[in-house]
Amino acid sequence: MDIILLGPPGAGKGTQAHRLEADRGMKQLSTGDMLRAAIKAGTPVGREAKAVMERGELVSDAIVSALIGEHLESATRGAIFDGYPRTQPQAEALELLLADRGRELAHVIELKVDEDALVERICGRFSCADCGALYHETAKPPEVAGTCDECGGHDFKKRPDDNEETVRNRMAEYRAKTAPILPFYERRGLVREVDGMGSVEAVAAAIDAILDS
Ligand code: AMP
């Protein structure tokens, strides 16, 4: 089962995708993670994407759709598209990528959130540098300060684009380019709304109810 998690930055897409991977063997396909890996590896894609991401703007449709095309086969038990598609051309590219492989979208899960709360959510988040476990300074600090709950690691990192100015640009990009793709999926009857302001568990339960329906 292939699904899209759609919502503005900080809506909880990554958190829910990680949980779905653990619970259902699905695979998170996050173009943001792929781009960050490309930057770290110093590839040509990474070099092109770095400054764009730091400004909170969108990387080109061709680059991100190619990344998804490269990784799609690895999601044998269902893909969770996280942060992709973000524009109408990407939504159209995804249709073709899936159709070429005899796959189709089961659901587009829209995480509805209050944008004002998002800046605070995003600016407080950080992750384990070793295993990638996600934390938040006030909402979900590690149980023992300075030690990762999952792997015991002591190194943490923050995304360079998780600062207020860039976050506001990312929100503007979402409103201008990503929210307008919802009608494309509404016409196909694929959109399911979930209240993204609830607890992680409540959001997870709502998503499970959709996937099991
Ligand atoms: P994310 O991790 O999904 O919040 O993405 C971080 C940044 O990577 C975004 O602000 C964009 O600059 C870039 N990015 C990630 N996914 C896409 C996409 N599908 N299309 C264009 N840019 C993207």
Tens-of-pLDDT digits for all 213 residues of the chain?
A: 999 999 999 899 999 999 999 999 999 999 999 999 999 999 999 999 999 999 999 999 999 999 999 999 999 999 999 999 999 999 999 999 999 999 999 999 999 998 888 888 889 999 999 999 999 999 899 999 999 999 999 999 999 999 988 988 999 999 999 999 999 999 999 999 999 999 999 999 999 999 999
Give Cβ neighbours of residue 179 (< 8 Å, ≥ 6 apart).
none
Ligand 1 center–CA 56 separation, angstroms: 8
Q: Are strands 2-6 and 105-112 parallel, antiparallel or unpaired?
A: parallel
**What ligand 1 atom has the least distance to the C-alpha of 36?**
8
Establish whether residue 58 lines the binding site of ligand 1, counting it when its CB lies within 6 angstroms of any ligand atom: yes
- Element of type H or E holding 35: helix 31-41
Non-local (6+) Cβ contacts of 27 within 8 A are 21, 74, 75, 76, 77, 78, 79, 80
pTM: 0.90
The one catalytic residue in 86, 140, 175, 188 is 86
Instruction: Tell whether ligand 1 has an atom less than 6 A from the beta carbon of residue 35.
Output: yes
Instruction: Evaluate: CB of 64 within 6 angstroms of ligand 1.
Output: yes
> Three-class SS of residue 85?
coil
53 lines ligand 1 (CB under 6 A): yes
Pocket test for ligand 1, best of 58, 159, 170, 177 (most atoms within 8 A of CB): 58
Our answer on whether the CB atom of 32 is closer than 6 Å to any ligand 1 atom is yes
CA 52 to ligand 1: nearest atom = 12
Burial (CB count within 10 angstroms: exposed 0-12, middle 13-18, buried 19+), residue 191? middle
Cβ-based burial of 196 (10 A; exposed 0-12, middle 13-18, buried ≥19): buried
Measured between alpha carbons, how far is 67 from 176 in angstroms, rounded to an integer?
23
Helix H or strand E segment including 27? strand 27-30
Which residues make beta-bridge pairs with 156? 128
